[in-house]
Structures are given as C-alpha cells and as structure tokens.
Structure 1
Amino acid sequence: GDEVLNTVNLVDREGRLLASYAKTHLYGAVDRKQFTAGHAITAPVELGGWKLGLAICYDIEFPELARTLALAGAEAILAPTANMAPYETVATRLVPARAEENAVFLAYANFFGREGEFEYFGLSCVCGPDGNDVARAGQGEEMVFADLDREALAKTRRLATHLADRRPDLYGSLTTGGEKR
C-alpha cells in the first residue's frame, strides 16, 4: 500500500526474520508528516534464550506498551530510537522506570548527532529489571554492550510483584480511549 511505516526488524544470526514491528505512537508533526502509525504491538519472540519485545522511540514513553509486552512474557524490550534534545530525561529517568515497573531489561539505542533541525543526544543504555543501569553511553556516539543476567531477572521478579499485584478491574479507562488533551 501507500503507507510508510517506521519499522524495526529482529533477525537471528543467520539473517532470518523473527519479528517485525511498526511504530504505533507517532511523535508530533515530524513523525506524522513521514509515517503512518503501526496497527498492532508485536508479540515477544525468542532469540538466544530470551523473550524479546520491540518498541520504537516514542513508543517507550507510553507505559501501556511496555506493560503489554511484559504481560506477554517479554524479558527484555529492545527500543531503537532517535530522541532529540531537550528530552534527555526520557533516557535518564523514564527508560529506567519503564524497566523497573515491568521487571524487564530495556535496551534503548539512541541516535547521536545533528540531522536537519534536530540535535540527538545519545545516552543509549541497557537498564536492568531493577531500573539500574547495566550499561550506559554518554552524550556521544558510542557502542554499548551488556550481559543480561537471568538470575538478576528472576530475583527482581520475585521481589517486585507489580505485574501480579495489578488491578486491571480498576483500569478500564486506560483501554476505552478517554479524552485527548
């Protein structure tokens, strides 16, 4: 069709496509001029013994998306992004909170440099299920590596029972659309 989607593909080491996800939350005019919003959240898929969920950029700023992936079994969420100044707090506060509130690893790979009118700040990171940094880049172009610790995931999930303690019977307004401000 005529739709242009901002899409991430997850491939295995042989190059086989395991999952494809199209960004569902468009950021302002900059996204809406270029893309059509994706229509669904992609279910987590297994790669290397881990169940991985996918998000793109602005998507991770919506707690419902990360929560949906966690409830579907994601142990880690991969979020390639091109987040620009002055929104550095997304990388430094929101991403760690998203990881902790869902007891998942969250890999946030951000662009760095200037493109057109935008200045991208880096700060790529991998946050653990306790919200602490496993690895973090500075404000520059860097490669980030992290080892995911399955025991740390299990321990966090034993201690932090947010997913089990939810009260979805109280959250109806989250799924009915509500009013846009």
Structure 2
Amino acid sequence: MKPLRIALYQGPAGVPRDTAVSLDALDEAAGRAAAGGAGLLAAAEMYLTGYAVDAPAAVAEPADGPGARRVAAIAARHGIAVVYGYPERDGDAVYNSAQLIGPDGTRLANYRKTHLFGDFESAHFRPGDTPVVQAELGGLTVGLLICYDVEFPEAVRAHALAGTDLLLVPTALMRPYDFVPLTLVPARAYESQLYVAYANRCGPEGEFDFTGLSCLSAPDGVTRARAGAGPDLVFGDADPALLAASRTELPYLRDRRAPLYRSLV
C-alpha cells in the first residue's frame, strides 16, 4: 500500500461562532493540501465554531447538519478526506465531537470526546461513552480521539488493541502544556505502535492561548511533521511499510501480559 499523506491544518483561533469564516478557511486549506498530494486534511478541535464559545449549545448542530454538509462539499470538491471538530447536538445533549468525511463527501465516522477537560468543557458538554470509533481510509484503519483523550494511555492503547493504524486527534491544547505535543504524543505513538496525527489550534482566543505545535508522530517515535506556534499547514506520510516494520521490531502489543494489569481497571 502507498503511504497516506496527511496535511495538518493549524489555523489561527479565529472568530468564535463564525462558522462561515472557519469553513472558507477550511476550503482554502483543503485546496492547498490536495495540491500538495495529501489524501487527508486534519483540522482542530471545535474547528467549526471556535473553542471559546460562551454557549456551545446555541451553535451546536447534528452530525448531518449544515456545517457537516458544507465540509462534505469541500472534501468532494478537492477529493480529500477531512477530519474536524465541532459541537454536536443530539436531542438535548451537546457533545464535543469530531467527524471524518471521506474524499467523496461521505461521512465515515463521528466521535464524541470521552474525557472532558476542565470546568469549561464539563459545564457545556456531555462526555461520550464510545471509546473506539474507526473507519477505513487509504488502506489504513483510522481512529478518532480529541485533545485531552490522547493524554490517557488507556484510550490510545484501546485503539491499538482494536487495530487502529492512524489515530486522528483534533486538538485545542493551551499554554503552558507544550510538553504534550513535544513529548507525550510521540511517546503514545511509540508505546502503542501507531501513527498519531495531532492537529491543534494556535494563538489567543477568549481566555485561552493555544500552543500550536501540531504534529504527526510515527510508531518508531519519530515526529514526521511539526508545525510552529503560528498558522501553518504541514505535511507528513503515514507509511504502512514503516508501521509493519516497527510493529515487528517493537512487539509491545504481542508481549504485553494483560492478566497482570486487571487491577488497573
């Protein structure tokens, strides 16, 4: 199989609640990503509306809502898969969600953040209860987590055990937690033997200041793409051959002794 080229879109924090601005910027980024040979564009957590929204419930929409339909049109027009974050409404519940759209505009997967971070998220969102959500893309098994989720080794290991090859993580990581993309994300990729595509926001928004530093980390622990602190579009490849070789050399999943860990759960 050919490597899947991934474009990490680290846009500025933008204007909260202004989905039109976010979608226009996504359209432009998708065009640049496709021109650069990418088969997947990864955008940040709460990309559609901005993260610092006073009332996420007021701008939340269903998984098949107008924002999703516009992203689907963008994906189909440029022939590129897109993963992005948004506030999802399902009846009376509001979730911090991420959705994967295929290159033909088909909705492939929708994930609801299971580990909510801080008072803001806990006040506005209901946690999801499905830890592993997957889809097939470019010959790889792709999984979804959101930001804080990846900081739990159990969440990433659950994906590894379920066969995820590439973990997509739309993110809104704030300062001063730069060590997460610099140290923790490469370690997660290495210890669970998968690729991690971590797409962050950057710059100030409301009371938050996002770190940027989006990255694609490989199962050999090497970061294959890294953004800076400002707006960026960076490219990296998820290579099935490297994945297979790394899993052979470092067989953590085979050698783990699961019965010893039962007390942890």
Give the shorter-chain TM-score range: over 0.9
Runs of 4+ in 1 over 3 A off after TM superposition: none
Offset of residue 43 of structure 1: 3.4
2:132 alignment partner, SS class: coil
Q: Which residue of 1 aligns with 2:131?
A: 41
> Does residue 115 of the first structure (1) align with residue 115 of the second (2)?
no
Offset of residue 131 of structure 1: 1.2
Q: Which residue of 2 aligns with 1:154?
A: 244
Distance, in Å, in 1 between the alignment partners of 2:109 and 2:238 is 21
Q: Structure 1: which 5+ residue stretches go unaligned?
A: 176-181
Amino acid at match of 1:152: L
Deviations 1:101-125 (A, max 9, x none): 0110100000001111110010000
Residue from 48, 61, 72 that aligns with 2:151: 61
Task: Identify which of structures 1 and 2 has the higher relative contact order when contacts are C-alpha pairs closer than 8 Å and 6+ apart.
Answer: 2
Q: Structure 2: which 5+ residue stretches go unaligned?
A: 1-90
Deviations 1:71-92 (A, max 9, x none): 1010110000000001010010
Deviations 1:31-59 (A, max 9, x none): 10121100112332211111001000100
Work out the number of aligned pairs and report it.
175
Q: Is the contact made by 1:26 and 1:32 (CA closer than 8 Å) also made in structure 2?
A: yes
Distance, in Å, in 1 between the alignment partners of 2:127 and 2:210 is 22
> Does residue 79 of the first structure (1) align with residue 173 of the second (2)?
no
Q: Is the contact made by 1:19 and 1:42 (CA closer than 8 Å) also made in structure 2?
A: no
1:83 alignment partner, SS class: coil
TM-score, normalization by structure 2: 0.65
> Which shifted more, 90-99 or 1-10?
1-10
Deviations 1:111-144 (A, max 9, x none): 0011111100100000011111111011111112
Distance, in Å, in 2 between the alignment partners of 1:80 and 1:141 is 15
Offset of residue 99 of structure 1: 0.3
TM-score, normalization by structure 1: 0.94
> Which shifted more, 10-19 or 80-89?
10-19
